[in-house]
Amino acid sequence: KKVGDIITGNVLRAETNGRISINFMNRTEAYLFRREQIQGEQFGFGDHIRVFLLDVNNNPQKASQLTISRTHPGLLVKMFEMEVPEIFDGIVKIVHAAREPGKRAKISVYSTDDEVDPVGACVGARGARVKTIVRELGGEKIDIVRYFSDPHQMLEEALRPAVPKNIRLNEAERRMHFEVAEDDLSVAIGRRGFNARLTSRLLGWKLDIGKEEKQAVGFDQKVAQAVEGINMIPGIDPAIAQQLVGIGLISPEAFEGVAAADLVDAGFSEEQAEDVIAKVNTYLESNG
């Protein structure tokens, strides 16, 4: 009846091979093997320890008849059930949980009541609820994200603050291909790849993350864009606009303090210079 639940015992001894012997209710002894321990945790004789019960077997030949773990995602889920009344009551549901034990974890949640914020309920006032679980799991950082059935929305939620772009789904292989801005790349992948791996497990999709390529703007293109800016001024001949851009007058606002004589010095005829300045002034006055 206890399988899939948390059980509490007392440490009897830590053995040289790394496993920990634990006594439960003074009648059952079990081993917590190194592979099921959170790296860096240390326990001594008499310490209380909470573990997730994976299985019970009746084989006396096995070193431990209880299969227990502190790294299984089920431990995280059960701890939230114990700490968050809304989960225990069934108002808030945990959909998926993924862990890098002792380092980082992610859970996705939703609410069956529109008036209850599932993320806020799990975090608690001033983070009290989640902090209790973080302490129990040796400082494991926990990201709580809202669950969406749509894979696109779920990816966007799970990757925050990184923003996925150009998302493409391969339904057959359950792969997601997407790009992020260069500044977001390290955030999306995370330290030692934790964020990418946890997001992949949380969604149940393999992730292919690429860097968004920014198209370089060449000199000719920049000139063309500047000419477009000058062409906003009614009546300016395209050839004159090109000539104005060539001397740095790339927008109507750039003419501030420029007189007709300045244009003449730059190679324009007096007639052209006066015509340009008149049209620029008319444009600026009409556009405030």
DSSP E strand boundaries for 129-283: 141-146, 165-170, 175-180, 206-211
Kindly indicate the confidence band of residue 74, based on its pLDDT and cuts at 50, 70 and 90. very high
DSSP 164: -
**Interval 35-58 mean pLDDT:** 90
Q: What distance in Å separates the CA atoms of residue 258 and residue 249, rounded to the nearest whole number? A: 10
Query: Residue 44 CB: number of other CB atoms within 10 A?
Result: 9
**Interval 257-262 mean pLDDT:** 80
DSSP 138: T
Query: Residue 122 CB: number of other CB atoms within 10 A?
Result: 22
Query: Residue 235 CB: number of other CB atoms within 10 A?
Result: 11
Kindly indicate the confidence band of residue 214, based on its pLDDT and cuts at 50, 70 and 90. low
Whether 100 contacts 198, CB under 8 Å? yes
* Amino acid 226: pLDDT: 60
Residue 48 pairs with which residues in a beta bridge?
A: 10
Kindly indicate the confidence band of residue 65, based on its pLDDT and cuts at 50, 70 and 90. confident
Of 73-77, 154-158, 159-163, 244-248, the range with the lowest mean pLDDT is 244-248
**Interval 194-223 mean pLDDT:** 79
Kindly report the average pLDDT of the chain as a whole number.
87
Whether 38 contacts 26, CB under 8 Å? no
DSSP 192: G
**Interval 233-251 mean pLDDT:** 76
* Amino acid 264: pLDDT: 80
Residue predicted with more confidence, 233 or 105: 105
Q: Is the pLDDT of residue 191 over 60?
A: yes
Which residues make Cβ contacts (< 8 Å) with residue 82, sequence separation at least 6?
Answer: 6, 88
Q: Is the pLDDT of residue 176 over 90?
A: yes
pTM of this prediction?
A: 0.69
The Cβ-side half-sphere exposure at 131, using a 13 Å CA radius, reads 5
Q: What distance in Å separates the CA atoms of residue 136 and residue 79, rounded to the nearest whole number? A: 9
The three-state DSSP-derived secondary structure of 212-239 is CCCCCCCHHHHHHHHHHHHCCCCCCCHH
**Interval 139-156 mean pLDDT:** 94
